[in-house]
C-alpha cells in the first residue's frame, strides 16, 4: 500500500498550494499516473479518502489520468505508444527498445480551487 504514501503527499502539496493561493478549498485534483508507475488507482482513491480528512481537500474530486507508455524506436526514428507494459519493443517494426519517453509519471497536474469570499456576486 505505497499508495497511502503517495496520497498523503498529494494532500500535502495541494493544501500548500491552496494556502499559497489564499483559496478556501480544493474543488478537484487532477493527477497523471504512468502505467509503469505501479500505482493502483482504486488503492490510491481509498488512500486519498483517508489522507484528506480535515484538510481543504475534504470534498475534492480526484481525477486520475492514466498515461500510456511511449518509447523511442531507433529504427523508425519515431515515438511509439506501447499497447501494454510487458514487451518493450516497437509495436510497428519490433525493434527492442528501453528508451522510455512517457509512462512513469506520478504527477500532480492541476488543482481546481475555490476562491475566498472576496469575490463579488
Partner 1 sequence: MIEPRILEVRTKILKKNDALAREMRRDFQAAGVLVVNMVSSPGTGKTAFLKETLTRLLDRGETVAAIVGDLETDNDARRLAESGAPVRQIMTHGLCHLEADMVQRHLEGWSLSDLRYLFIENVGNLVCPTSWDLGESVRLALLSVTEGEDKPLKYPGLFNTCDVAALTKLDLAAACDFDRATARATIEAVRPGIRIIETSAKTGAGLDEWLDFLRARRTTLMHRSPPGQRDGDIGRHGGIVRKERPIDDDAVTPGRHPHPVE
Q: Considering the complex, what minimum distance in angstroms separates the CB of residue 72 from partner 1?
A: 6
Is residue 42 part of the contact set for partner 1 (CB under 8 A)? no
Which residue among 15, 27, 62, 76 contacts partner 1 (CB under 8 A)? 27
Is residue 110 part of the contact set for partner 1 (CB under 8 A)? yes
Is residue 61 part of the contact set for partner 1 (CB under 8 A)? no
Is residue 5 part of the contact set for partner 1 (CB under 8 A)? yes
Residues 6+ apart with CB under 8 A from 24: 56, 113, 114, 115, 116, 117
**Burial letters for 28-51: b for 16+ Cβ neighbours within 10 Å, e otherwise?**
bbebbbbbbbebeeeebeebbeeb
Rounded distance between C-alpha atoms, residue 113 and residue 13, angstroms: 13
Is residue 58 part of the contact set for partner 1 (CB under 8 A)? no
The set of cell numbers assigned to 76 is 523508425
What distance lies between CA 4 and its chain's CA centroid? 14
Q: Which residues bind partner 1 (CB under 8 A)?
A: 1-2, 5-6, 9-10, 13-14, 17, 21, 23-24, 27-28, 31, 34, 36-39, 72, 85-89, 96-115, 117, 119, 121
Amino acid at each position: 500500500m505505497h499508495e497511502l504514501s503517495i496520497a498523503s503527499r498529494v494532500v500535502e502539496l495541494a493544501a500548500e498550494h491552496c494556502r499559497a493561493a489564499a483559496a478556501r478549498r480544493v474543488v478537484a485534483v487532477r493527477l497523471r499516473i504512468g502505467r509503469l508507475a505501479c500505482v493502483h488507482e482504486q488503492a490510491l482513491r481509498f488512500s486519498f479518502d483517508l489522507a484528506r480528512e480535515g484538510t481543504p481537500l475534504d470534498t475534492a474530486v480526484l481525477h486520475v489520468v492514466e498515461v500510456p507508455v511511449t518509447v523511442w524506436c531507433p529504427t523508425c526514428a519515431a515515438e511509439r505508444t506501447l499497447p501494454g507494459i510487458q514487451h518493450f519493443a516497437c509495436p510497428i517494426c519490433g525493434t527492442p527498445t528501453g528508451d522510455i519517453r512517457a509512462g512513469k509519471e506520478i504527477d500532480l497536474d492541476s488543482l481546481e480551487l475555490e476562491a475566498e469570499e472576496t469575490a463579488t456576486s
